[in-house]
């Protein structure tokens, strides 16, 4: 185990990174509440990511340490039995790792030009999610550069917009 990994592991074990976390309840406007479950979830993700504050750990090459433990008391996500929570979930992660989110964004835009009416709102919500994640990643990239975290900054100059060149 390298020294960098040992330090990160100690940080995780100590839980000190959690001291910067705070809770925030998301309240949607009446207009937002009237939107489809897809769009409501996209707005919740966008709002959550906009309130996240970049927090960098020493030697970190991944970033994205949560500062905002967000809650939403309304029900959404296609009226399924279980409410999702923000976490480390990426459907079809292989596509994101290989192609990057810019490619996915272009694919969504292309599909929007030829989609059926019943698919449009889902694709618009997906586009909002992708744009929200990219803005969030750009903020982390700028914070890494400002903090002199060159390894993280260099990674974030490429990923998530483009595919990963390594998994190191």
CA–CA separation, 18 vs 34, rounded Å?
35
DSSP state of 25: E
pLDDT tens digits, the chain, 168 residues: what are they?
888 788 878 888 888 777 777 777 888 899 999 998 889 989 988 998 898 888 887 777 777 677 766 666 554 444 444 444 555 566 777 888 889 999 999 999 999 999 999 899 999 999 999 999 999 999 999 999 999 999 899 989 999 999 888 765
CA–CA separation, 143 vs 160, rounded Å?
16
User: Measuring CA to CA, how many Å separate 99 from each of 53, 128, 136, 140, 159?
Assistant: 27, 19, 19, 20, 10
CA–CA separation, 106 vs 30, rounded Å?
31
pTM: 0.81
Tally DSSP H helices, then E strands, for the chain.
7, 2
Under 8 Å between Cβ of 135 and 161: no
């Amino acid at each position: 185990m390298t020294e960098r990994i040992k330090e990160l592991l100690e940080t995780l074990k100590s839980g000190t990174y959690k001291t910067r976390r705070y809770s925030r309840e998301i309240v949607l406007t009446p207009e937002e509440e009237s939107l489809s479950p897809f769009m409501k979830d996209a707005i919740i993700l966008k709002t959550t990511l906009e309130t996240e504050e970049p927090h960098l750990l020493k030697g970190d090459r991944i970033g994205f340490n949560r500062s905002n433990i967000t809650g939403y008391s309304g029900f959404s996500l296609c009226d399924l039995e279980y409410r999702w929570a923000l976490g480390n979930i990426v459907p079809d992660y292989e596509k994101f790792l290989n192609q990057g989110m810019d490619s996915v964004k272009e694919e969504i835009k292309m599909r929007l030009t030829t989609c059926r009416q019943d698919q449009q709102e889902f694709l618009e919500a997906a586009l909002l999610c992708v744009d929200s994640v990219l803005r969030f990643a750009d903020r982390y990239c700028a914070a890494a550069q400002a903090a002199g975290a060159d390894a993280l900054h260099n990674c974030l100059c490429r990923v998530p917009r483009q595919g990963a060149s390594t998994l190191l």
